[in-house]
Amino acid sequence: MSDKCSEAFNQALEGYGTYVSAVCDFCGRTHFFSGDTTGWEDAGGVEALEEMQKKADAEPDKYVDWGEVRVSLGDIAGKQYIIGCPCNELAKYENFIWNHRILIMNYYKNQHKAMQENADRLGGQIKESDFNNT
Ligand SMILES: [Zn+2]
């Protein structure tokens, strides 16, 4: 695997939708959309967008202007991650999963088998019991 997260993993993580502004919990960078003012009404209005752009000009490593692209995010390990954040913290989770995929697939297989056995046992108990003759 590479140091960059794949598009397939990015798409798998996306789940919270898109926003005009959000913070990456892994690195603290603020990401924002500046394509137009749609959506900024609930986030402080045009003034908030202009303020964000000033901050991005002053501290381009802390504020990421996505232009026409809305900020997309997901949650992993209990933290909010911004898809495409330069910190690229998502890549280590993808690499872990990919590098341990055989172990993970065996784990799923074993869990499935155990759950199936429990379901079969419960099904047998239900069939053996006589709920209608009480
Ligand atoms: Zn980040």
Residue 30 lies in a domain: yes
Distance 71 CA to ligand 1 centre (A): 12
Residue 123 lies in a domain: no
Q: In the chain, how many domains are there? A: 1
Element containing residue 73 per DSSP (H, E): strand 71-76
Residue 2 lies in a domain: no
> Mean pLDDT, 10 residues at a time, over the chain (134 residues)?
84 85 96 91 90 96 94 94 94 96 98 97 89 59
β-strands 30-32, 63-65: how paired? Answer: parallel
Distance 87 CA to ligand 1 centre (A): 4
Residue 63 lies in a domain: yes
Residue 94 lies in a domain: yes
Distance 103 CA to ligand 1 centre (A): 28
What is the domain range of residue 17?
Answer: 7-99
Residue 130 lies in a domain: no
- In this prediction the pTM is 0.80
Residue 46 lies in a domain: yes
Residue 25 lies in a domain: yes
